[in-house]
Chain A
Amino acid sequence: MSAVRHVYAVALRAYPSGYRRAHAAELTSTLHEVVGDPPRLVVRELVGLLVGGLRQRVRGLALLGGRHAAAEALVVVVVGLAFVGLQWSSEGGSVRPGTGPVAFAPESPAYSHLTADVEHAPIGRAVALYQQGMGVEFFDTPQALVLGADETATRRIGLATDRGRHGDAGPMLLSPDGRLVIVGDLGDGQNDLALVDLSSGGVRRLQVPLPGEVHPLAWAPDGGTVAYSVGDGLHLLDLATGASRSVPRTAGVDAAAFSPTAPEIAVQLRWGGPDVLVFALDGARLRTLDMRGGSIGPNSWSPDGRLIAVEDDGTTVGFVRADGALLKPPVVVPVPGAGGEYRGRFAGWAGSSRPVFMVAAGTAGAPGRARLLATNLAGGEVRQLTKISTHAGNEAVSSRHFAADLLPGAGVRPAGDWDRGPLPLWFRFGVVLAVAALSAWVVRFAGSWARRRERRLVQRLAVPEPT
């Protein structure tokens, strides 16, 4: 077939298939007589075919009847778009875990309802885990989020978000290597700790021996053991076997931190006064440390095993010797930028003498950003690793956890577009339904217009009344 014939053949496809079956041979014969043989490309003929085909389709719409056509179109659009949407949801969105140095983006992603769950779109390794958002009357918006260690990516931890209550996400913790998140239970009867694999999105549930709230408190540096509280005390969970054992005399445990260099764990009790108890991992009580009224967190113990960081009133962080000896002179570091509405919290260690702090609004209404700062015990340079927008106040950042193994050497990567994973299923179905509804309305409107037009044309051709 010559190119010109092909062009006419394509233009003929503007006609509905039924019309083509009935009239194509006759129409083509006439066309060939008009354009000659071999055929010339006549623009007027080409436009005539396209417009004629379109008019025939409009006419067909009118003859079919608007309602029938609209219903058909609605079904076609809904099924087609739903198919495309589902196809899309099963593709892409995964990040492979890296092995090299990690980096923060200069500005972490703003709050969004369209971030994908890590269970559906794995993120590989995460450098940070935190809650953003809070409960506002009947509009609770807390989300558990992770920041990718290897790419400018973020994901929601759907399981931790779903296990939340009263405006908070469920209790959670990030593993030292950034590959796992463990999620507790706020007494909803789960009686387990759920281990979310950030590389695969898979979830493994590990039963705990007692009913009640389950709070993961600290992750051992080798990644094999998690300290958690349930019932009336501290328990140690062996992730390889799923077995738990309790640590005696730890009733009312509130916080814990593993030693990176020895088989020891520091435990803080709610009514234990100013002290922290240090236990051997076999349960033997080793010593008591005076925390001067401050509190510890999962990453408090320094990488060299020498110091434990102690948070106090939100403006300074103090440090005590882990062996119980007095630190002379006492080391108390003011958190840069903390004060007033902004509170400084200890986040982890970027090195044995390089604490990392997060400074964020301490009250819901305070605007601004949460900033992650690396500094030095000896003073000097303060390096901002990232900041998170909390401009609306109710997007406050809380429950912050950082991958202990990844903080040392963590850099800042160039700013880039955030990979939030594929759009959530509910959003895509919403779009599909909206498009389907709009299409149905347009088709009904077009059908009604086509029927009016057809009536006008027939009226114009009506036989005149005899006079």
Chain B
Amino acid sequence: MLGGMGDKPPLREPTYFVLASLLDGPLHGYAIIGRAEQLSDGRVRLSTGTLYGALDRLATAGLVAAGPEEVVEGRTRRAYALTDDGLAVLTAEAERLQAAARVVARKVRTMARGRLA
């Protein structure tokens, strides 16, 4: 069985990719939307409302840190960075997904061998 799967619910895909988009360093809102879409092969297309709802919850849980508000080229921006706790949660979720994928892959391989024999 997948260890720890029943302990807490998995991250939702948008939350997972918001955290993943910050692995390379702090980003502001619009950049996070683009990076999450890129990392998810276009599956996760965050609307502005959804993004800020997710960032708000992640900041409250201490998984991301919001930087100071600044104005760049007439636009108000704030950079968000992954915290150590955020990295730990993201890593744990990646390992869980990896383990889940491994279970299925192993089973599929066994079935394939059975058909060949």
Footprint of B on A, CB under 8 Å? 23, 25-34, 42, 44-45, 47-53, 55-56, 59, 456-464
Contact = CB atoms under 8 A, between A and B. Distances in A.
Given A458-B57, A461-B11, A461-B15, 12 more contacts: A25-B69, A26-B77, A29-B76, A30-B48, A30-B52, A34-B33, A45-B47, A49-B48, A52-B47, A462-B8, A463-B63, A463-B89
Contact of B56 (A33, A56, A464): A56
Nearest to B85: A463
A458 B61 contact: yes
A33 B73 CA distance: 12
Interface in B67-95: 69, 75-78, 85, 88-89, 92
Interface of B: 4, 8-12, 15, 28-30, 33, 45-53, 56-58, 60-63, 69, 75-78, 85, 88-89, 92
Q: Which 8 A-B pairs have the closest CB atoms?
A: A48-B47, A52-B49, A48-B49, A30-B29, A461-B61, A25-B76, A29-B75, A464-B92
Nearest to A463: B85
Nearest to B19: A461
A462 B78 CA distance: 24
Given A25-B76, A27-B52, A464-B92, A459 B9 contact: yes
A52 B46 CA distance: 12
A456 B57 CA distance: 11
B30 A461 contact: no
B48 A27 contact: yes
A459 B60 CA distance: 12
Given A461-B58, A464-B88, A464-B89, A30 B28 contact: yes
Q: Point out which of B45, B58, B61, B62 has the most chain A C-beta atoms below 10 A from its C-beta.
A: B61
Contact of B52 (A23, A50, A458, A459): A23
B5 to A, nearest CB: 12
B40 to A, nearest CB: 16
Contact of B61 (A49, A462, A464): A462
Given A459-B8, A462-B89, A464-B4, A49 B57 contact: no
11 contacts: A30-B52, A33-B30, A45-B49, A47-B47, A51-B49, A56-B56, A457-B57, A458-B61, A461-B11, A462-B61, A463-B62
Given A30-B30, A49-B49, A461 B77 contact: no
A445 B74 CA distance: 44
B42 to A, nearest CB: 14
A25 B56 CA distance: 15
B59 to A, nearest CB: 10
Contacts of B85: 463
Contact of A26 (B33, B57, B62, B76): B76
A52 B9 contact: no
Contacts of A29: 29-30, 75-77
Contacts of B78: 26
A4 B20 CA distance: 33
B11 A460 contact: yes
B75 A33 contact: yes
B24 to A, nearest CB: 19
A343 to B, nearest CB: 75
A32 B75 contact: yes
B49 A34 contact: no
Contacts of B48: 27, 30-31, 34, 45, 48-49, 52
